Structure 1
Amino acid sequence: MSVKKELSTDQCKLLFSTLKTRFEKNKNRHPQLEWTAVQARFDFHLHGNGNREKLWSLHQMEITGGEPDVIGFDPPTDEFIFCDCSAESPKGRRSICYDREGLESRKDFPPANNAVDMAKEIGIDILTEAQYRDLQQLGEFDTKTSSWVKTPEAIRKLGGALFCDRRYDHVFTYHNGAQSYYSGRAFRGIIRI
């Protein structure tokens, strides 16, 4: 049974209010942008010919603890870039391994889900290592937790997966087996709207 990926009017109002408050509180993440432009984009997706599923994806980012916020605007594609900006990795996405193959290879105590499938279900992309490092220029994230990042195929073929965190005022990239999972590790996502 497929999930209806559409929000009610009340859910949209609450989401937009939450995002507006976060946007205004964190101007350093988007100093050249105004909320009215973001709201106009939301209205287009809600009332025009836009993609309502993207609003649903933002809502999923929010309810899983990602605290999405605008981190940029891409003029060539005319898209706002939203990213999970929670101080620590999103609580509703923790204790998951990297991907389906890692999950299926786990013999004992498999986790409930995996990062790659969750991101796809939500409708977002897992941050690459470069995107993760760019995010860290906007604040201090994952000082107590860690986040899976998109792993290059060459590493994944050998059974590994990458994750990042911030310690000692530096961003570190590490590796684990893709089947591993920890209570303090989730993933951060990004979406263009």
Structure 2
Amino acid sequence: MVERDEAGGEPALVQNEGALRFFDTAPEASKIPHRKSLCYDEEAHLNRKKNPPTGDVVTAAEKLGAHLLDEEDYLLLQSVGDFDLKCSCWLATPADVRKLGGAVFGDKRFGRAFIYHNTADCYYASRGYRLKDKLREV
């Protein structure tokens, strides 16, 4: 996985049907320094005219050589523990949703994981992102 000092977070192996994956398992995604108050992608960042954020999660993940968790990854992660109980987490967004201006995020409330949507240019101090290793999915 990406160097922890560089990426922040807490990389760990998560097993699913015999496959091992490296996921970020920090308890709260938005508590990782430099991983909050970011919109979804560069297009959203450039289009945000009023109060633009400092960056976007897709570009940040690419710079670290990693991918954002997608919905399937996020639900798997939530099945092995309790994460993002006080914040939310941007997720890799399907192209058809992004084409319409949206982006997806998740969190865990009431003992279950939820996947939601928002416009891609929004950002919150309580919304972070999680990474998975780009090259080592076994």
Using structure 2 for the length normalisation, give the TM-score.
Answer: 0.88
Matched-pair contact (CA < 8 Å) for 1:70–1:80: yes
1:138 alignment partner in structure 2: 80
Structure 1 166/160 Cα, relative in aligned 2: closer, same or farther at 3 Å?
Answer: same
Q: What is the DSSP-based 3-state SS (H/G/I as helix, E as strand, rest coil) of the residue aligned with 2:105? A: strand
CA distance, structure 1, for counterparts of residue 20 and residue 6 of structure 2: 20
Aligned to 1:124: 66
Q: 1:62 touches 1:68 (CA, 8 Å); kept in 2?
A: no
Larger radius of gyration: 1
Change beyond 3 A, Cα 1:74–1:121: farther
- Distance in 2 (CA, whole Å) between partners of 1:186 and 1:84 is 12
Residue number in structure 2 paired with 1:113 = 55
1:87 aligned partner: 27
Q: Which stretches of structure 1, 4 residues or more, deviate above 2 A after TM superposition?
A: 61-65, 72-75
After TM superposition, the structure 1 = structure 2 runs for residues 1-193 of structure 1, keeping only pairs within 5 Å, are: 57=2, 59=3, 61-72=4-15, 81-90=21-30, 91-92=32-33, 93-191=35-133, 192-193=135-136
TM-score by length of 1: 0.64
Change (3 A) 1:69 1:62: farther
Give the 3-state SS of the residue equivalent to 1:134 in structure 2: helix
Q: C-alpha separation between the residues in 2 aligned to 1:62 and 1:73?
A: 27
> Identity rate of aligned residues, in percent?
38
Higher relative contact order (CA 8 A, sep 6+): 2
Uncovered stretches (5+) of structure 2, i.e. residues with no partner: none
Greater helix proportion: 1
**Cα distance in 1, alignment partners of residues 118 and 75 from structure 2:** 19
Per-residue displacement from partner, 1:92-121 (whole Å, max 9, x unpaired)? 211100000000110111111101001100
5+ residue gaps, structure 1, are 1-53
Cα distance, 1:64 vs structure 2? 4.1
Shift in Å, 1:65: 3.2
How well do the aligned residues superpose, as a CA RMSD in angstroms?
A: 1.9
**1:80 CA displacement:** 5.0
CA contact (8 A) 1:70 1:81 kept: yes
Question: Residue 72 of structure 1: CA displacement?
Answer: 3.1
State the distance in 1 between where 2:113 and 2:16 align. Answer: 24
**Partners in 1 of 2:8 and 2:62 — Cα distance?**
17
